[in-house]
Amino acid sequence: MPDRYAVIGHPIAHSQSPRIHGLFAQATGQDLTYEAIDGGGQPGGFARALENFRAAGGRGMNVTLPFKLEALACADDANDTARLAGAANALRFEAGRIQACNFDGAGLVRDIMVNLSMPLAGADVLILGAGGAARGVILPIAQVGARRMLIANRTADKAWQLATEFAPHVATADNCCAIAGAGFDAVELAGAPFSIVINATSASLSGAAPAIPDRALAGARLAYDMVYGKGLTPFLRQAQNVGAQRIADGIGMLVEQAAEAFAWWRGIRPDTGPVIEQLAKPLV
């Protein structure tokens, strides 16, 4: 019998995870199945679906919106990244326990450093947004040695709160990353150049761009939009127009976080390059 894995969310039909994990399993010769489960919109739906899947012998799950917070809450053990993010995107069922991780940040870091060959060590990073997506990537970016991180958000209060909450965790002994929060109109955005600008807002999903000054993007070596499959988003277009050296969407992050989960479950890391190539859409 093949081992069973799944992704759970609501809605879930759009999820690329079954395709990605299917390609990983094929390439690594792992005997497993991977299905999509709709946790439904009713209270308790996630917990019920999770228990049914475990009872039927499920070994692990990816978790997507809107269940990432519930996934962390139901876990017996969680790693630091998940705990600080307040959310989990991968679960493993082992020896009667539910273990939780959040691989979104690891996926982003690997995509930037390995696939796009942009150093994060010593980098000045601007993160746009202060919601769940931003939360999940702050610690992993600090852990690979970013020098400075500015969290900027439309609602400045939320950015300040997030920076205050993360400050003690990102300024560790062997890596002193400075973190601050700001609104989009703050002087810091138009002043110092950032080497990497990451759009972690959900603006691109509604065809909008975060209203940041051109100067925040002008000197960037990389402008990265965490959404994928939307082509040239208004954020990426702005970056391109003001001369950012490179633009990328989040397809690499999606595939890399999937590879992290696959490795955690199966003990073997699949080659991500061919999968990213199959799924990537042109940025036009």
For the bound state, the minimum distance from the C-beta of residue 67 to ligand ATR, rounded and expressed in Å, comes to 12
> Residue 164: what are its φ and ψ, rounded to 5°?
-65, -40
Q: According to CB under 6 A, which one of 201, 238, 257, 272 is a site residue for ligand ATR?
A: 201
**Does position 155 bind ligand ATR by CB under 6 A?**
yes
Kindly report the CA angle at 47 between 43 and 48, in degrees rounded to 5? Answer: 90
Dist CA 86 CA 68 (whole Å)? 8
Smaller CB distance to ligand ATR: residue 58 or 132? Answer: 132
Q: Is 68 a catalytic residue?
A: yes
Region near ligand ATR per CB under 6 A, out of 22-30, 119-127, 200-208, 267-275: 200-208
181 belongs to the binding site for ligand ATR (CB under 6 A): no
The answer to the question of residue 210 lying near ligand ATR (CB under 6 A) is yes
Backbone φ and ψ of 251, nearest 5°:
-65, -35
Q: Is residue 153 within the footprint of ligand ATR (CB under 6 A)?
A: yes
Interface with ligand ATR includes 230 (CB under 6 A)? no
Task: Please identify which of the residues 68, 158, 230, 281 carries the catalytic annotation.
Answer: 68
Q: Does residue 183 bind ligand ATR (CB under 6 A)? A: no
Nearer to ligand ATR, 129 or 181 (CB): 129
Contacts (Cβ under 8 Å, ≥6 apart) of 200 = 127, 128, 129, 131, 133, 134, 137, 226
Q: Min. distance of Cβ 197 from ligand ATR in angstroms? A: 14
Give the total of residues touching ligand ATR (CB under 6 A).
14
| Piece of 21-29, 105-113, 202-210, 245-253 that binds ligand ATR (CB under 6 A) | 202-210
Check binding of 250 to ligand ATR (CB under 6 A). Answer: no
Kindly tell me which of 115 and 161 has the beta carbon lying closer to ligand ATR: 161
Which of 158, 169, 230, 237 is in the footprint of ligand ATR by CB under 6 A?
158
What DSSP state is assigned to residue 205? G
Q: Which C-beta is closer to ligand ATR: that of 130 or that of 186? A: 130
Instruction: Find the residue with minimal CB distance to ligand ATR.
Output: 131
Residue 133: name the closest of 197, 198, 218 by CA: 198
118 phi/psi in degrees, rounded to 5: -110, 125
Footprint (CB under 6 A) of ligand ATR, residues 122-151: 129-133
Q: How far is the CB of 184 from ligand ATR (least distance, A)?
A: 7
User: Where are the alpha helices (H) located in 77-203, listed in sequence order?
Assistant: 80-85, 104-110, 132-143, 156-170, 187-190
Q: Which two tokens stand for residue 49?
A: 């679906």
Cβ-based burial of 26 (10 A; exposed 0-12, middle 13-18, buried ≥19):
exposed
Kindly give the pairing relationship between strand 222-225 and strand 196-199. parallel
Contact 128, 212 (CB under 8 A): yes
Q: Which residue has the tokens 């959040």?
A: 102
Active site residues: 68
The site for ligand ATR (CB under 6 A) is made up of 129-133, 153-155, 158, 201-203, 208, 210
